[in-house]
Amino acid sequence: MSRSRSVRRLTTAATVLVAAVAQTGAAQRRVASSSTVPSLIVFITVDQMRPDYFERYASQLKGGLGRLYRGGAFYTDAHQDHAITETAPGHSVTMSGRFPAHTGIVANVYGVNDPRTPVIGGGGPGASPFRFRGSTLIDWLRIKDPRSRALSVSRKDRGAILPLGRAKESVFWFGTDGRFSTSTYYADTLPTWVQQFNAKKIPQTYALKWWTLPLPDSAYKEADSVRYEADGEDIIFPHPFPAEPDQVPRVFANYPAMDSLTAQFALAGVNALNIGRGPQTDLLAVSFSTTDAVGHKYGPDSREIHDQVLRLDRYMGAFIDSLYKLRDSSTIAFALTADHRVQPYPELRAER
């Protein structure tokens, strides 16, 4: 079966998992010809990523998504076979290889919420993996070499916590106060490098700015105004950020720039923690969450999700290029997956 036919068939499933492992050029050949294990595994989860987005926008994907899609092993029959396809259950299976019934994370409400482990400095409810059962990839790496370490980053607490299971590694997520933080399950204070990153107050710099289209209107085939989107409010480009800097963090997750911020924070962590320098294999888990926020608000057939995927492609391209400047590209293995997908608005589909 051809790649395109396989991808189209999978879009009819309730939820899918798409995986890719990629290196490029000479680096790919060196890895293929060497028995040396990677010094860094970069495990990327795109929250609510549908597999047909790759084929739908293929000609416009010039960055990280495009490189992984065209240069890696693309699994067209990889899918999740469990009932409640939400963020928490999905993230609990990606690096554990077990169904939610066996990870203990069967729904978002039974995910990571834990009032006994508050977020350091506030900015969200307490969270921990106390419900999680079993082991994950980082545990298996540490059995092989106790020196292996992990850094997990996401906009969502469950997106950062659950890929690593119960392991007490470096785990951080974004709060409504505009800071990346962690809970007392992992630490008592924030590391200096996290405090320095937060001190830049990057989200607040978007006050009075707009989410605009970087490409001409002709590059987007979708209608810009669909009455079912966003409850009928803020449905036309450009989309404004709040005017007050202190109000931006509350809604920042709804804008593509959140994925850029997540990538910047992950790179800062790699640099500060010396992740991936070897000789052991380290793990960097990054969950990009904006596709989920935009997909819920505007739907999978919207101009907004089209632009979100294109922007994520650019952000991921810059992320990979920056990572290659920090670490030898021949020692890095990438994996790309999704935690769940999304269906179109029923009303819109009925009209069509």
Q: Is residue 299 part of a domain?
A: yes
The CATH number that applies at residue 219 is 3.40.720.10
Contacts within 8 Å (CB) and 24+ apart, 183-188? 183/114, 183/117, 183/118, 183/119, 183/120, 183/126, 183/127, 183/128, 183/157, 184/117, 184/118, 184/120, 184/126, 185/114, 185/117, 185/127, 185/128, 185/129, 185/130, 187/120, 188/120
pLDDT of residue 36: 80
Residue 42 within a domain: yes
Does residue 352 fall inside a structural domain? no
- Is residue 350 a part of any domain in this protein? no
Q: Does 204 reside within a domain? A: yes
User: 136 catalytic, yes or no?
Assistant: no
What is the model's pLDDT at position 22? 37
For residue 227, what pLDDT is reported? 85
Q: What is the mean pLDDT of residues 4-9?
A: 31
> Which residue in 45, 87, 182, 281 is the catalytic one?
87
pLDDT in tens, 12-46: 222 333 343 333 444 444 444 445 889 999 999 99
pLDDT, tens only, 50-66: 999 999 999 999 999 99
Q: Is residue 187 part of a domain?
A: yes
Across 209-224, b (16+ Cβ under 10 Å) vs e yields eebebeeeeeebeeee
* pLDDT the model gives residue 31: 46
226-282: per-residue pLDDT in tens?
Answer: 888 888 888 899 999 999 999 999 999 999 999 999 999 999 999 999 999 999 999
Question: Per-residue pLDDT tens for 333-343?
Answer: 999 999 999 99
Q: What is the mean pLDDT of residues 217-229?
A: 91
Mean pLDDT computed over every residue of the chain: 90
Q: Which domain holds residue 163?
A: 3-344
Indicate the number of domains in the chain: 1
What is the 3-state composition of the chain as percent helix, strand, coil, each rounded to the nearest 5? 45, 10, 45
349 located within any domain: no
Q: Looking at the domain assignment, is residue 351 inside a domain?
A: no
Quote the crossing angle between the two packed helices 192-199 and 257-273, to the nearest 10°. 150
- Residue-wise pLDDT tens digits, 166-196: 999 999 999 999 999 999 999 999 999 999 9
